[in-house]
Amino acid sequence: MGQLDDHPDNRVKRRGPPAPLTATVLAAVVERPSHGYELTTRINRRMGTDWASRSVYDALDRLQKDNLLWSEEQKTAGVRSGWKRVFYATELGEQTRAAWSHEGQVLSKG
């Protein structure tokens, strides 16, 4: 994924289009905050794909480094460690997802 522009009025702009999985992961988190395994399952079921969990976690890491997501550990029953890292979209993440969605609609209209 490209770097975000530092100018406050252009915070949701980036150089080049997002990678398809990165855009999909951001959209899924905006839709419903989730932990990585749940995101992988939802994305694969919805898109008929077989993305590896590692690829989804890599996208989550990139999105978090770009301040589009934040995460926190939550105590969860039924998990070996008892904890899951749940990802949430930041305000910038929601704006970026909307901008990416709009760009995709404009590009598809040709």
- pLDDT per position as a tens digit, 68-96: 999 999 987 776 778 899 999 999 999 99
Strand order in the sheet with 69-75: 34-35, 83-89, 69-75
What distance in Å separates the CA atoms of residue 49 and residue 31, rounded to the nearest whole number?
19
Task: Express each pLDDT in 2-19 by its tens digit.
Answer: 444 443 445 544 545 678
What distance in Å separates the CA atoms of residue 77 and residue 69, rounded to the nearest whole number?
24
The three-state secondary structure class of 83 is: strand
**pTM of the model as a whole:** 0.75
What is the total residue count of the chain? 110
pLDDT at residue 101, rounded to an integer: 81
